[in-house]
A = this chain, B = another copy of it.
Amino acid sequence: MSKTNPGNFFEDFTLGQVIEHATPRTITEGDRAVYGSIYPTRFAVPSSAVFAASVGLTGSNGEGHPVEDLIGFHVAFGKTVPDVSLNAVANLGYAECRFHAPIVPGDTISTSSEVIGLKQNSNGKTGVVYVRSTAVNQRDEVVLDWARWVMVHKRNTEAPAPETVVPELAPFVAAEDLVIPAGLDFTDYDFVAAGEPHRFDDYEVGEKIDHVDGVTLTESEHQQATRLWQNTAKVHFNVEARPDGNRLVYGGHVISLARALAFNGLANAQLIAAINAGAHTSPAFAGDTIYAWSEVLDKAETSAPGVGALRLRLVATKGRDESMTLKGDDGKYAPGVLLDLDHWVLVPR
């Protein structure tokens, strides 16, 4: 019998099944540095232990300061690939992703997934699997959870279809369901150190921000980032995995790049509280130059001192679009749009 992992096929998933994903992963200061070498991030909380402490964020041992929120996201997400999406035809979407607690170096992240929905496609060859994944730290505290659905091949097209169950997922996380990190306090927020003066009240719903800067992708950089998260999807690393001979850039790479570019105009969006939805509308490849713009979708107060929440649409484009057009008259994404990410961030009031 083969000892290598063939991945799961559609008929391997059953409703209510819980999958414990290999391999637990300890986050380190090395991850922060490699991340900073690949993404042009400058947010003050992950950049500076002093700044993080000034807003109430330190490690559980009084040491360490939070790494980029997306490091936790990529690591936790990467764990699920070998079990959930190795045989995926397409990653269809994710929702209800909440960041429960910042991760500091020394934390060890483990992820498990529960199958919450199944729907065979009418062609009988594929089906959609819905999972809710939960990442916990070494103290078994939830650090991140999210729902995700992927289209997966059937191993055997003759296999009977399971009962169709499609879970109800919120179009976005309600403001009152956001988890504010314990201790977070923006009362004495240092806007000069953070890099911009704009606070909660300066942002208006409907406002769009062109983040101006662009980054040209290289093969090494997207591979290194994706590998760091132990994401094993073949298409990112192997020119023989796709008919066109190109290595596909991991969608999460575009998210991290756009998030870092958004510093220019959203420097005070220190923490990501939730990801409501994400559409990866076009593939990205080495050589592409990526730009980003944001739109303010909603605003909410929070119970934490001095902390407000902005719901943002973060859009990554290939080539700069100063018109910041999301969709054409036909309702389709405009040419050049790579990513449409709906998320909540926490900002000083």
Contacts and interface: CB of A to CB of B under 8 A. Distances in A.
Interface of A: 2-5, 20, 22-26, 28-34, 36-44, 47-51, 65, 82, 105-106, 108, 110, 138, 192-196, 198, 202, 209-216, 218-221, 223-225, 227-228, 230, 232, 234, 237-241, 247, 264-267, 289, 319-320
Contact of A232 (B5, B108, B213, B232): B213
Contact of A24 (B5, B48, B106, B215): B48
A90 to B, nearest CB: 21
B266 A237 contact: no
Given A22-B42, A41-B230, A48-B108, 12 more contacts: A4-B264, A5-B264, A23-B193, A23-B194, A28-B33, A30-B34, A36-B230, A37-B225, A38-B224, A40-B237, A214-B237, A238-B289
A213 B238 contact: yes
A225 B317 CA distance: 25
15 contacts: A2-B210, A4-B264, A22-B267, A23-B47, A24-B48, A24-B50, A26-B48, A28-B29, A34-B34, A34-B37, A36-B227, A36-B228, A40-B232, A40-B237, A213-B238
